């Protein structure tokens, strides 16, 4: 799996490490890792509604943070579980800009095998790295 | 787990880490707990309590309560007082779930009277008080109306028929923290929270039907004063917070403060989750006002849930809530910062107290507790794991040592992941039923994460708080029904 949950970083919460060849791919995996904390089977989330994510930040870590926040936002504001299949990141005068196309559906406890709610993305041990083997991110979520 | 060698025992249940333990500590860290509890603290507790001790303006000690465990920035169970003129305010000292808290409600029913109806009662409560991921409440508010709620808390509930005047009297801050300014919260926070009033949430949030068994009433005088007047009396206890609204306020201001902390105010910190700003700075004051909105949203949330509890009991037993003696005992907050007056080095001073996963526990006679409880001290409600039980305690005079703060729960010892591997939700439901606890849950896996074995021993936590002199146990409450987010 392109992401794994880290057991003992946060005893009261959930943490994951996501990996991908590209930074765009890393964002896709990290989004799935977050949503997978809330719903057991990502395949049960049908792409019935679409939302666009936009985020801006000075660095990639902050950009990932802002991007992950959007999954939590739509979960509370519109009760949507979303998955992102495509991310585009561009750079303009020192600012990183992200656009992502998300698709998903309204939470339905009858269809979705739900786990714990994610309250927030924390900055604890939050990091994005580009290593010879590809991109990795470590994220701790508040439950 | 390695207990630091420099940790010095001050008394049976108080331990101290000196300022020499970590560079930058301005005051020592004081950790509360018996030897056994302290030896089992995770390493993060010592590190984080020491990190808090480095923050500007901290007074006396950086505290950690007996149920302490690793958190973000502050440990869970962390308490610290700051000079309002020279000190800071830090969202990491309050937590993401602002005013996550406990409410205890008494009835005049006995366990024998409730048991024949228990399944129906729990099923109805489970239906009427939404819980779990993405749940929304029955109070439909547009965003403007929601802004009134966050500025007025339980007062809004009283005006709209969701509260009795007595409920407000028996809530910390009377259900509304003064100075909440909705202009200081983001639109995102409002969008996340405006449909969540009257919902439990998930994680460690729950509602329980509990019993005060005769052998568990340790202090009959105080129990009577707090409304626990007969053996086997049934009570309702619940734990929830400010939901997505509070989480967003915390997230927003973590970044606002990170952006200005070093650049504008020259404050350097050890951990990004300790982001802070001078309390008197514009950003510090904005966060304080926004935090109060989240505090009020949470009071309103627990108040609307009480309204639902009254409706459900009334339906199931065919009597009015009044005839069923449904009366709030008290409502306490866990995750807040408040300006309070305390005596420090012989001088009465106003300080900003951060309590994160800690309960205020004012002693007898203190201002800020309901008149009727003044001779006895403030009721303190400590929630245990869903399998073991919970406590009603009272604040005591010797609580001045921690600025009148005590524990808030049992504190986790096992990761959610490990708990899921060790326990199975379905088996847990069966085993609990066998032991007389009927459970309904929005998530069986979520339930497994909350198994009793994932938590510290609640009795040890209550004992340590008494041994240290920061609160005194009144009644131990045993669960018979539980709804779990």
Across the interface, whether the CB atoms of B192 and A119 are under 8 A apart is answered no
| Distance between CA atoms of residues A137 and A127, nearest Å | 5
Whether B117 is catalytic is no
List the single residue in B with minimal CA-CA distance to A106. Answer: B134
Residues contacting B317, CB < 8 A, separation 6+: B109, B117, B324
Marked catalytic residue, from B40, B239, B334, B408? B408
pLDDT, tens digit, for every residue of A108-123? 999 999 998 999 999 9
B478 close to B234: Cβ distance less than 8 angstroms: no
Digits of tens for pLDDT over chain B (485 positions)? 589 999 999 999 999 999 999 999 999 999 999 999 999 998 899 999 999 999 999 999 999 999 999 999 999 999 999 999 999 999 999 999 999 999 999 999 999 999 999 999 999 999 999 999 989 999 989 999 999 999 999 999 999 999 999 999 999 999 999 999 999 999 999 999 999 999 999 888 999 999 999 999 999 999 999 999 999 999 999 999 999 999 999 999 999 999 999 999 999 998 989 999 999 999 999 999 999 999 999 999 999 999 999 999 999 999 999 999 999 999 999 999 999 999 999 999 999 999 999 999 999 999 999 999 999 999 999 999 988 999 999 999 999 999 999 999 988 888 888 898 899 999 999 999 999 999 999 888 889 999 999 998 999 999 999 999 999 999 999 999 999 98
Across the interface, whether the CB atoms of A76 and B244 are under 8 A apart is answered yes
pLDDT, tens digit, for every residue of A10-69? 777 899 999 999 999 999 999 999 999 999 999 999 999 999 999 999 999 999 999 999
For residue B416, the model assigns a pLDDT of 87
Across the interface, whether the CB atoms of B412 and A123 are under 8 A apart is answered no
The nearest CA of chain A is from the CA of B443 a distance in Å of 6
For residue A9, the model assigns a pLDDT of 75
Interface of B to A at Cβ within 8 Å reads 42, 69-72, 76, 96-97, 132-134, 136, 188, 191-193, 196, 201-204, 243-244, 247-248, 250-251, 254, 258, 271-273, 412-418, 442-443, 445-446, 449, 485
Interface residue of B1, B415, B453, B455 to substitute, partner A, most A CBs within 10 Å = B415
Residue burial B5-36, b: 16+ Cβ < 10 Å; e: rest: eebeeeeebbbbbebebbeebebbbbbbbbee
Contacts of A121 in chain B (CB under 8 A): 251
Count of residues making up chain B:
485
For residue B1, the model assigns a pLDDT of 56
Could you say which DSSP state residue B400 is in? G
Across the interface, whether the CB atoms of B191 and A40 are under 8 A apart is answered no
Residue A46 contacts B where some CB pair is shorter than 8 Å? no
**Strand ordering across the sheet containing A80-92:** A49-57, A95-106, A80-92
For residue B437, the model assigns a pLDDT of 95
Boundaries of every domain in chain B: 8-88+338-359, 101-337+367-484
The nearest CA of chain B is from the CA of A33 a distance in Å of 14
- Domain of A43, CATH number, reads 3.55.10.10
In which domain, by residue range, is A11 found? Answer: 3-142
Count of residues making up chain A:
143
B170 close to B326: Cβ distance less than 8 angstroms: no
For residue B413, the model assigns a pLDDT of 86
Q: Judged by CB atoms within 8 Å, which residues 52-71 of A form the interface with B?
A: 69
- Is beta strand B438-441 parallel, antiparallel or unpaired with respect to B472-484? parallel
The nearest CA of chain A is from the CA of B31 a distance in Å of 19
Residue burial B348-378, b: 16+ Cβ < 10 Å; e: rest: eeebbbbbbbbbbbbbeebeebbeebeebbb
Interface residue of B92, B126, B134 to substitute, partner A, most A CBs within 10 Å = B134
Could you report how far apart the first and last alpha carbons of chain A are, in Å?
A: 22
For residue B411, the model assigns a pLDDT of 84
Residue A131 contacts B where some CB pair is shorter than 8 Å? no
- In terms of phi and psi (left: phi > 0; alpha: psi -120 to 50; beta: otherwise), the region of B356 is beta
Residue A88 contacts B where some CB pair is shorter than 8 Å? no
| Distance between CA atoms of residues B482 and B485, nearest Å | 10
List the single residue in B with minimal CA-CA distance to A70. Answer: B188
Residue A1 has pLDDT above 80, yes or no: no
Total of domains in chain A: 1
In a 3-state reduction of DSSP, which class is residue A21?
Answer: coil
HSE-up of residue B310 (Cα within 13 Å, Cβ side): 19
For residue B209, the model assigns a pLDDT of 98
The nearest CA of chain B is from the CA of A56 a distance in Å of 14
B242 close to B301: Cβ distance less than 8 angstroms: yes
Facing residue for B449 by CB, picked from A114, A116, A121: A116
Strands (E), B3-42: 8-11, 14-17, 29-32
Across the interface, whether the CB atoms of A73 and B188 are under 8 A apart is answered yes
Facing residue for A120 by CB, picked from B69, B247, B446: B247
For residue A47, the model assigns a pLDDT of 98
Tell me the sheet residues that pair with A135.
A20, A130
The nearest CA of chain B is from the CA of A108 a distance in Å of 9
B194 close to B141: Cβ distance less than 8 angstroms: yes
Across the interface, whether the CB atoms of A76 and B243 are under 8 A apart is answered yes
Facing residue for A114 by CB, picked from B132, B191, B248: B132
Tell me the sheet residues that pair with B16.
B8, B30
| Distance between CA atoms of residues B52 and B77, nearest Å | 12
The nearest CA of chain A is from the CA of B192 a distance in Å of 4
Residue A97 CB neighbour total at 10 angstroms: 14
Contacts of B247 in chain A (CB under 8 A): 72, 119-120, 142
**What is B101-337+367-484's CATH topology?**
tRNA-splicing ligase RtcB (3.90.1860)
Contacts of A40 in chain B (CB under 8 A): 445
- Is beta strand A134-142 parallel, antiparallel or unpaired with respect to A14-20? antiparallel
Across the interface, whether the CB atoms of A107 and B134 are under 8 A apart is answered yes
The nearest CA of chain B is from the CA of A68 a distance in Å of 12
For residue A111, the model assigns a pLDDT of 95
Residue A41 contacts B where some CB pair is shorter than 8 Å? no
Across the interface, whether the CB atoms of A142 and B196 are under 8 A apart is answered no
In 3D, which of B354, B32, B31, B376 has the Cα closest to residue B228?
A: B376
């Amino acid at each position: 799996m392109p992401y794994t949950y880290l057991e003992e970083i946060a005893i009261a919460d959930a943490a994951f490490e996501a990996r991908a060849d590209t930074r765009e791919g890393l964002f896709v995996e990290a989004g799935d890792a977050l949503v997978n904390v809330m719903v057991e089977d990502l395949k049960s989330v049908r792409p019935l509604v679409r939302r666009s994510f936009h985020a801006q930040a000075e660095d990639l870590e902050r950009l990932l943070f802002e991007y992950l926040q959007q999954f939590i936002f739509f979960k509370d504001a519109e009760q949507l579980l979303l998955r992102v299949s495509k991310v585009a990141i561009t750079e303009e005068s020192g600012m990183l800009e992200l656009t992502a196309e998300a698709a998903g559906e309204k939470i339905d406890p009858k269809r979705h095998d739900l786990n714990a709610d994610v309250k927030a993305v924390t900055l604890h041990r939050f990091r994005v790295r580009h290593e010879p083997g590809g991109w990795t991110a470590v994220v701790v979520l508040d439950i | 787990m390695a207990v630091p060698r420099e940790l010095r025992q001050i008394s049976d249940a108080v331990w101290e880490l000196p300022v020499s333990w970590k560079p930058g500590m301005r005051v020592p860290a004081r950790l509360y707990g018996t030897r056994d509890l302290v030896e089992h603290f995770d390493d993060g507790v010592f590190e984080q309590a020491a990190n808090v001790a480095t923050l500007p303006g901290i007074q006396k000690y950086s505290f950690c309560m007996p149920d302490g465990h690793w958190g973000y920035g502050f440990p869970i169970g962390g308490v610290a007082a700051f000079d309002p003129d020279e000190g800071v305010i830090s969202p990491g000292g309050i937590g993401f779930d602002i005013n996550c808290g406990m409410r205890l409600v008494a009835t005049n029913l006995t366990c024998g009277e409730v048991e024949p109806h228990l399944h129906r009662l729990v099923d109805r409560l489970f239906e009427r008080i939404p819980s779990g991921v993405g749940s929304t409440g029955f109070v439909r508010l547009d965003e403007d109306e929601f802004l009134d709620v966050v500025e007025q808390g339980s007062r809004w509930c009283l005006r709209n028929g969701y509260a009795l005047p007595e409920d407000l009297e028996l809530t910390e801050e009377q259900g509304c923290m003064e100075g909440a300014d909705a202009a200081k919260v983001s639109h995102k926070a409002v969008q996340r929270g405006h449909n969540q009033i009257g919902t439990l949430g998930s994680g460690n949030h729950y509602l329980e039907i509990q019993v005060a068994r005769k052998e568990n009433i340790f202090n009959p005088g105080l129990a009577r004063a707090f409304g626990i007047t007969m053996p086997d009396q049934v009570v309702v206890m619940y734990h929830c917070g400010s939901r997505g609204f509070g989480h967003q306020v915390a997230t927003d201001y973590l970044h606002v403060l990170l952006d200005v902390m070093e650049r504008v105010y020259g404050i350097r910190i050890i951990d990004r989750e300790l982001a802070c700003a001078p309390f008197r700075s514009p950003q510090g004051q904005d966060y304080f006002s926004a935090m109060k909105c989240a505090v009020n949203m949470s009071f309103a949330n627990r108040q609307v849930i009480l309204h639902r509890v009254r409706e459900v009991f009334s339906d199931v037993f065919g009597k009015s809530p009044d005839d069923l003696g449904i009366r709030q005992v008290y409502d306490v907050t866990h995750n807040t910062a408040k300006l309070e007056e305390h005596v420090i080095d012989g001088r009465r001073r106003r300080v900003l107290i951060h309590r994160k996963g800690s309960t205020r526990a004012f002693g007898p006679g203190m201002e800020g507790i309901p008149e009727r409880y003044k001779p006895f001290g403030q009721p303190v409600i400590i929630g245990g794991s869903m399998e073991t039980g919970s406590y009603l305690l009272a604040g005591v005079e010797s609580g001045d040592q921690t600025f009148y703060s005590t524990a808030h729960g049992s504190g986790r010892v096992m990761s959610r992941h490990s708990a899921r591997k060790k326990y199975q939700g379905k088996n847990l439901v069966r085993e609990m039923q066998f032991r007389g606890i009927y459970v309904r849950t929005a998530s069986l896996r979520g339930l497994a994460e909350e198994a009793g074995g994932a938590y510290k021993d609640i009795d040890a936590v209550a004992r340590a708080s008494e041994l240290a002199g920061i609160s005194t146990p009144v009644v131990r409450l045993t669960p018979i029904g539980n709804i779990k987010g």
